[in-house]
Structure 1
Amino acid sequence: MTATQAAAAVGAAALGEAAAWGGRHAHDPTAVRDDDGTYWLFSTDASGDGPLPRAGVQVRRSSDLVTWTFHGWALAGVPAVAAAWSGASGLWAPDVVRVPDAVPVPDDARWRMYYSASTFGSRTSAIGLATAPHPAGPWADRGLVVTSRHDADGPNAIDANAVVDGDGRHWLVYGSFFGGIHALELDAASGLVLGADGPSAGPGVLLARRPHAVEAAVEGAFVLPRPGGGYALLTSFDSLFGTYHLRVVAGPSVTGPYADVRGRSATDVAADPVGSVVLGGHRLAGGRGWLAPGHASVLTEPLASGGARQLLVHHVRDADDPAKHEVQVRRLAWTAGGWPLVSPQPWAGAGREVDDEAAWPSSVGELAGTWEVVGFTRGDAFAASATRAVGPDGPAGARALGRGRFSWDGASAPVEAVVFPAWDAVRGRATLAGAALDTATGVVTVGTRVGADR
C-alpha cells in the first residue's frame, strides 16, 4: 500500500467513526449558510469519547439546524507551519465567514476560516487562515495571521472572530485567558493583519479582561451589531467543564469601549465579573441538565419575508457526564433597549418556530399564565428552575413596547424583556418563551410558559 493509499484508508476509517456523531462532539461551534440554504457547522477537533479519529476542523451540514450530518474535516490535519509553532495536535475554535462581494478576492477564496493552533495551558499559540470557494471546500491553508508566545506578556492567539464594521473595515477579535480579548485590523483583500508582512504578534486594542485571581478566564469572543447602533460583545467566562457561561457587554464600535448594562467597563478588573449572564448551566423540570454552555457564535440570515433571523450557536455539556459535549442552537432576540437575550428552549426548526414578528405577542395580557423560569446571576452555580404566575395584566407595571418587546417596573430600574413563540422541548408543544434583563442588577431571567391561564 502506498503512502497515499494509507492516508486515504485512515481518512475513511475516521469518517466512518464520526458518521454517527450528529451534533455530538461539536465544541466551539460556528455556523454559516451557503447560497443554496444548506447550513454548515465548523468546530474544534474534540471528542468526549476519547482520542480524536483525526484532526483538521470538524465539518457538519444540516438543512434545519436541528439534525446534523458529519461531513468530514476542512483540512488534512494541522498545517505544518501551525504545528511547528504551537505543537498542536488538533485545531481549535474555527471562525468561518463569507468575504463581502464588494471585496475583490479570487472565486476560490470567497470563504475564510480562521483556525487556532495551541495546547492546553500554553499561550504559545497561533491563528491561521484558510480559504475556500464554498463552505464544503476545498479549503487551502494560507499560513499564520497572529502568533503569541507563552513567555511574553499579551493575549493568547486563539479564538478568532472576524468582523466587518459599518464602515467596511475588517477586524480580528481574539484572545483567551492570560491576556484578555483584543482586536486587530485586517486587510480586507488578504485577510491578514493590516500593514503586516507576515504573522503579527499583536496585541491590538484591548476590549475585555479579567483579574489573575480568576486566571483571567475570559475567551470565545463574538461581536455583533446592535439594532440601534454600536456593537455587543459576547464572551465566555470561567471553567470549561463546570462554571462556563456566556456574558454580554456593549460598546459604540468594534474596538469598544465595552461596558455592561450597569455601566461597568469590560476592562475594569476591580469590577469583575462584568457583563450580564445571558446563558448558564441549568435544568428545566423534566428535562436534561445542561452544563457549561458557551463559546458562542451568532448566525444571522435574511428571511424571505424581510428582516433577519439571529440564532446563537454554542456548545453545552451533559450535566450528568461533563466530558460529553454537543452543539445547541437558540433564538437570539434584542430588547427594546438593544440588549441581546436568548431563548431558554433549543431551536426546533423552521416548521415549529415563528420568525414573523407580526405574530409575536403585542399586549401584556398575552403573557398571562404559569411560567417556568431560570435566573442567571453569576453563572457560578447550576441553576434550577422555578414556577411563576403571571396575571392578566402581566408583571407589575408592564408595558408593551412593540411586537415581542416589553418593559416593567423592577426594584430600582426597568426590566427589559423580549417574548416570542417557541417550541417547548420538554413537553413537546408550542408555547411562548423569552428572557428579561433587570437593568439595575444586570440579572437575566429566562422563561417558558408552561400553562396558559386565560
Structure 2
Amino acid sequence: MTASAWGGRHVHDPTVVRDEDGAYWMFSTDARSDGPVRAGVQVRTSRDLVSWTFHGWALDGVPGPAAEWSGAEGLWAPDVVRVDRPGAAEWQMYYSASTFGSRRSAIGLAAAPHPAGPWTDRGIVIASDHVDGPAGLGHPNAIDANLVTAAGGRQWLVYGSFFGGVHALPVDPATGFVVDAPAPGALRRSPGKLLARRSRLADGAVEGAFVLPRPDGGWALLVSYDSLARTYHLRAAVGDDVGGPFRDRAGRLMTDGAPGTRDAASGVDPWQVGVPVLASHRLAGGPGLLAPGHASVLTEPGRQLVVHHVRDADAPTEHRVQVRRLVWTHDGWPLVSPQPWAGPARENDAAAAWPVDARVLGGTWEVLDVGAAPAKVADGEAGALGEVLDGALVGVGAARPVGAGRFTWERAAGQETARAWTAVVFPAWDAVRDRATLCLAAMGDAGRVVTGTKVGDE
C-alpha cells in the first residue's frame, strides 16, 4: 500500500494542530507495520479529525546533528506548536532522534511558517547518553518532548522516557531552546524538575508525557505506562505547577516507588500510581483496541480532544490514530470518552446538550472498568449503573448534579457521608450502533475509573 492510501494507518505518537484556515495537521513518528521506514516525521491533513489524507514528510530524513549524535534512522514523537513572533506566526516542531532501548538520544527543533512547511532544522535542544543518572535509573532519555506555556509566557520542555523518567526544563520563548543549554553535543548535568518516574519493577515504564492546564487552575499530567505493543495505557495526575509535584487521586506522587524517592521503601506498587483513564478494551460488537497511548490534547473553543495511537487487538502490529473527547470532572480531573470522536457532523458540542437531570443516568449502559487489568483487553459489561461492576456506581436516585453534565454519588460511611464518585455525562456518538447517545466517565475517591455508553432507556 502506498503512503497516499494510508489515511490514519501507521500513525504512532501523534500530535494535531489547526491552521488559520481551519485545516487540521497531524504529525507522527516515522513508523509503519508493513515496510521500511521513511524518515522525516509523517504529516497528514483532515477537515473533520476522522478522515485523514497523507501529506508527506516534514523533513528530508533525520537532520545531520541529530543523526550524528543518536544514529537514528527515523524521527519519533513530534510535538508541534504555534508561536506568535513579531510580524508573523511561526510553527515549531520538537522531534526525537533515538534507537529502540537506547539512551543516546536527542531532541531537536525545526521551524516553519505554516504546518505544511517548509520545515528548517535549527539543531539539538537537549541530548542524553548512556551515563549514570539520578536514583539509579540512568540519565533521562532525551525523547518525547512536550512544550508547555504557562502564565506570563513562561515555557517548559517536558521530556523523558523510561530510564530516568519524565522531567521539565525551562525554555527561552525567544529561541525555543532550553535555558542555559550546553554547547552542541555536550550533556546537561541537571535534567530539570522530576515529574514522573517508575521503579525497575515496572522497567521504568513511563513516557509520552503531555501537560495541560486544568479549568480552574493548576495542571494535569497525562503519561503512558507499560509495554508499547501490549499493555500500553494512559494515566493522569494533577499538580499546582508545571514542574510538579503531580499526584494521583489517592494522593500518591507520580514518583512514588522509584529508587531514591521518599516512598521507595514503602512498598508502593508501581502499577497502582496514577489514575488510568484509557486502556485496552472491546465494546460489544466492536473491534478490540489494544495498547492505546502516547496522547496529546487538541484544545479548541468548546471542546478538548485526546489524540492517541491504538493497535488492533487481532493484529497487534497494526497501529493507527484515534481521537476522543477529553472531559473534566467538577473538581478538575481529566477523563476520556469510551467512544472515538465521530466528527463535527455527528458530535454535539452545544453546552445545552450536557444533561443536568440525574434521570438521564437511568436505563442500560455498557460500562468499562478502565485500567483494572491493563494486561487484558477489557470487555464492556451491560446493565444498570447500580448493577454493573459489582455496584461500582450506586443507583440513579443517589446522584447529585453539580453543574452541566457533572454529577456526584455519595455513600454512607458510619454516621457521616463521604463522596464516593464524581462523573461527567456528555453527548456522544456510538461508533458500534451508529447513533447519537450519552457517554459517562466517572472517578472514585481512590482513583478507580469507569466509563460507559448508554445503550438503552429501559
TM-score (norm 1): 0.91
Q: Deviations over 1:181-232 (max 9, x none)?
A: 0000000010001122545625111011000111100000000000111000
Counterpart of 2:202 in structure 1: which amino acid?
V
Name the structure 2 match of 1:335.
329
Q: Cα offset for 1:396?
A: 5.0
Q: Cα offset for 1:48?
A: 1.2
User: Distance in 2 between the 1:143 and 1:443 partners?
Assistant: 43
Q: Cα offset for 1:388?
A: 2.1
Change (3 A) 1:148 1:445: same
Secondary structure of the equivalent of 1:110? strand
Gap regions ≥5 residues in structure 1: 1-15, 303-307
Alignment of structure 1 residues 21-420 onto 2, 5 Å: 21-52=6-37, 54-99=38-83, 101=84, 103-104=85-86, 107=88, 110-153=90-133, 154-196=139-181, 198-199=183-184, 201=188, 202-269=190-257, 270=264, 271=268, 272-273=270-271, 274-302=273-301, 308-376=302-370, 377-390=372-385, 395=396, 397-410=398-411, 413-420=419-426
Of the structure 1 ranges 170-179 and 265-274, higher mean CA displacement relative to structure 2 is found in 265-274
Q: Deviations over 1:428-453 (max 9, x none)?
A: 111001210012x2111010000022
**Conservation of the 8 A alpha-carbon contact between 2:359 and 2:396:** no
Name the structure 1 match of 2:260.
none
Q: Cα offset for 1:409?
A: 2.1
Name the structure 2 match of 1:5.
none
Name the structure 2 match of 1:442.
447
User: Distance in 2 between the 1:96 and 1:223 partners?
Assistant: 14
Given candidates 420, 431, 434, the residue that maps to 1:425 is 431
User: Distance in 2 between the 1:374 and 1:437 partners?
Assistant: 12
Of the structure 1 ranges 314-323 and 358-367, higher mean CA displacement relative to structure 2 is found in 358-367
Q: Cα offset for 1:357?
A: 1.6
Q: Cα offset for 1:368?
A: 1.5
User: Distance in 1 between the 2:230 and 2:357 partners?
Assistant: 39
User: Distance in 2 between the 1:93 and 1:397 partners?
Assistant: 44
Runs of 4 or more above 4 Å deviation: none
Q: Deviations over 1:2-26 (max 9, x none)?
A: xxxxxxxxxxxxxx82000000000
Q: Cα offset for 1:397?
A: 1.6
**Conservation of the 8 A alpha-carbon contact between 1:59 and 1:70:** yes
**Conservation of the 8 A alpha-carbon contact between 2:337 and 2:441:** yes
User: Distance in 1 between the 2:182 and 2:294 partners?
Assistant: 31
User: Distance in 2 between the 1:204 and 1:197 partners?
Assistant: 13
Secondary structure of the equivalent of 1:366? helix
User: Distance in 2 between the 1:366 and 1:346 partners?
Assistant: 21
User: Distance in 1 between the 2:362 and 2:385 partners?
Assistant: 5
**Conservation of the 8 A alpha-carbon contact between 1:292 and 1:316:** yes
Q: Cα offset for 1:389?
A: 1.1
**Conservation of the 8 A alpha-carbon contact between 2:169 and 2:191:** yes
Would you say how many aligned residue pairs link Structure 1 and Structure 2?
426
User: Distance in 2 between the 1:208 and 1:122 partners?
Assistant: 19
User: Distance in 2 between the 1:176 and 1:438 partners?
Assistant: 29
Of the structure 1 ranges 424-433 and 271-280, higher mean CA displacement relative to structure 2 is found in 271-280
**Conservation of the 8 A alpha-carbon contact between 2:107 and 2:125:** yes
User: Distance in 2 between the 1:93 and 1:318 partners?
Assistant: 20
Q: Deviations over 1:294-352 (max 9, x none)?
A: 000000012xxxxx310000000000011000000000010001001111000000111
Q: Cα offset for 1:395?
A: 2.9
User: Distance in 2 between the 1:41 and 1:161 partners?
Assistant: 15
Name the structure 2 match of 1:8.
none
**Conservation of the 8 A alpha-carbon contact between 1:396 and 1:408:** no
User: Distance in 2 between the 1:355 and 1:150 partners?
Assistant: 48
Secondary structure of the equivalent of 2:327? strand
Secondary structure of the equivalent of 1:293? strand
Counterpart of 2:432 in structure 1: which amino acid?
V
Counterpart of 1:339 in structure 2: which amino acid?
W
User: Distance in 1 between the 2:457 and 2:335 partners?
Assistant: 23
Q: Deviations over 1:62-92 (max 9, x none)?
A: 0000000000000001001111000000000
Change (3 A) 1:266 1:410: farther
Counterpart of 2:384 in structure 1: which amino acid?
A
Change (3 A) 1:286 1:94: same
Q: Cα offset for 1:173?
A: 0.1
Q: Deviations over 1:125-156 (max 9, x none)?
A: 00000000111111000000010002332200
Gap regions ≥5 residues in structure 2: 134-138, 258-263, 387-393, 413-417
Q: Identity across aligned pairs (percent)?
A: 64
